Amino acid sequence: MSFTTLAEATDRLKELYTLLADPQVIADSAYFQSLAREHSHVDEIVRLWQELEDARSLRHEAKEIVETSRDEELIELAKAELSENEEKIEQLQHSLNSLLVPRDPDDSRNTIVEIRSGTGGEEACLFAADLFRMYSRYAERQGWGVELMSSSPSDLGGFKEVIFLVTGEDVYGRFRFESGVHRVQRVPETEAQGRLHTSAASVVVLPEAKEVDVELDPEELRVDVFRSSGPGGQSVNTTDSAVRITHLPTGLVVSCQDEKSQHKNKAKALKILRSRLLERLRGEQAAEEAAERRNMVAGGDRSAKIRTYNFPQNRLTDHRIKLTLYNLQEILDGDLDGVMEAIRLAAYGKGELVRETGATS
């Protein structure tokens, strides 16, 4: 739900108070939790919006003093207060704009992130590992959980493919615009001549599917077990713990081998399969969106890039919104808030939702 005035947000908050006190709503656990989450969200909107209105009122009073008073000392105090208020108003508007961005029903879901090396050979695999580390660090900063679902390591410590689950509050709402081809420009450690190389990795972000979203018919699944390969300890190549599941109607194949337990690998594979099937189902319902997504990650081709990570210039550029930042090392260490927020606001065409005129009740 989107609001255009403080009065609208306040009315909805009162309505939520009433609903949450209704015994019938309390008895429906899923509905109650959904309303409770909305209540927390709207309550924060109302609080920030009221603070913003108070700050604007103080700014108006300070301007009047500066323009009409003849008391020099009072004018200086008003100017100082005016400066403070301008900074506070800017911060409040930014926070409120972020909260007022329309929420997708999937935003509150956990997220499965798939990273695959593309053009660039071993250097692309190393970059895929850098992206995995970046997203993991970002999740840690948010207090979210990260669980490795499946991985295919490369010879030099990178990843040909890595799939992981991020769990927490509003995870998909943050990660959803990371899908696409990410390009890196740097001098690889293996480059003796010091030449700049360009490589790429593709990122696909899926909302985690629950069992109620996608029902899997065991008759439509082929489950194969095999011995794990690559790093993994003493159990590697000694037991048939790795699992490959093929969804026969669609041909989708998911393999997991990171766990020593066949049961755990199967559970993870089914979780990934459900999320891919959910994405496929929604893609069929919105064919244009699905086509755009497939184009974005077309084989990890550098020409389909959404973002460039340039190491010599310490620069990150997001080509979709023409955003350029010169703190690449901090971003790779998980400082992604600014990037994700800018893309989220731009995606909804909501660079500025709360304006001076028509924004009050």
What is the rounded distance in angstroms from the CA atom of residue 244 to the CA atom of residue 138? Answer: 30
CATH code for the structural domain at 218-279: 3.30.160.20
**Structural contact between residues 113 and 163, judged by C-beta atoms closer than 8 angstroms:** yes
Domain ranges of the chain: 6-100, 107-209+285-347, 218-279
Comparing CA positions, the residue from 244, 239, 240 lying closest to residue 222 is 244
pLDDT at 190: 65
Strand, helix or coil for residue 334 = coil
pLDDT at 99: 81
* CATH number among 3.40.190.10, 3.30.70.1660, 3.30.70.100, 3.40.50.10540, domain 107-209+285-347: 3.30.70.1660
pLDDT at 14: 93
Measure the CA angle with vertex 261, ends 154 and 148; round to 5°. Answer: 45
Is the entire prediction scored with pTM above 0.75? no
The segments of the chain whose pLDDT lies below 70 read 1, 190-192, 211-212, 229-239, 285-304, 348-361
**Structural contact between residues 204 and 188, judged by C-beta atoms closer than 8 angstroms:** no
pLDDT at 304: 64
Looking at the DSSP assignment, which residues form a beta bridge with residue 221?
Answer: 247
Looking at the DSSP assignment, which residues form a beta bridge with residue 163?
Answer: 114, 150
pLDDT at 230: 57
pLDDT at 293: 42
